A and B are shown apart, each in its own frame.
Chain A
Amino acid sequence: AQSVTQPDIHITVSEGASLELRCNYSYGATPYLFWYVQSPGQGLQLLLKYFSGDTLVQGIKGFEAEFKRSQSSFNLRKPSVHWSDAAEYFCAVGPPYGQNFVFGPGTRLSVLP
């Protein structure tokens, strides 16, 4: 069965510091991988996605993620965090031809001024 783990429930970083949010997945084939961000009162917004090809993918708002098949990981990174990045971040996995996305439990990011 598909599953997604995000080991960090809550992370706090200082503004300007670098960020890495971890995501590990369990899936029997090559999955589609996604990172979404959810701000309070807002819907989920797609940050980036990986389907195939280059394992380092660039997204919006300066985020990037790296797919590592050997580690079943898809970690999200940003070199310099802004206060507006404070939000909940969700990693998700989906089959290439299905609709049934599986989301991780999320990591809440707090940013210190």
Chain B
Amino acid sequence: DTGVSQNPRHKITKRGQNVTFRCDPISEHNRLYWYRQTLGQGPEFLTYFQNEAQLEKSRLLSDRFSAERPKGSFSTLEIQRTEQGDSAMYLCASSLAAHYNEQFFGPGTRLTVL
């Protein structure tokens, strides 16, 4: 069991640039979730997939954000035209559909927008 992995672990970018993060879930997990965590706060739900289908999106997920899970395995989260307010830790989690409340989290990608 290699757990949930996320790459890169840290990303520094300039305002206006696009960034993409990758999440590799636990191999047998068919649900994948994205959260955002800002300093001093708990994680906030962004979106989740069951297999390749994106089933729910938070209103926090603005038009500049897009997430994909093309083959039902790894997922990418892209942020276009980054803003300083996007600076946060982006967390990925995965679960089995039958145990959707038992989510296993990755270490996160810390984004800093200058």
Contact = CB atoms under 8 A, between A and B. Distances in A.
Interface residues on B, range: 20 to 34
Interface of B: 3-4, 31, 33, 40-45, 48, 55-56, 58, 91, 93, 100-108
A44 B45 CA distance: 14
B49 to A, nearest CB: 10
A43 B102 contact: no
6 contacts: A43-B105, A43-B107, A46-B104, A94-B101, A102-B45, A105-B42
A65 to B, nearest CB: 15
A41, A101, A105 pick with most chain B CB within 10 angstroms: A101
A36 to B, nearest CB: 8
Nearest to B42: A103
Nearest to A98: B56
B101 A32 contact: yes
A70 interface: no
Interface string A24-68: 000000001010100001111110010100000000000000000
B33 A99 contact: yes
A68 to B, nearest CB: 20
B102 to A, nearest CB: 7
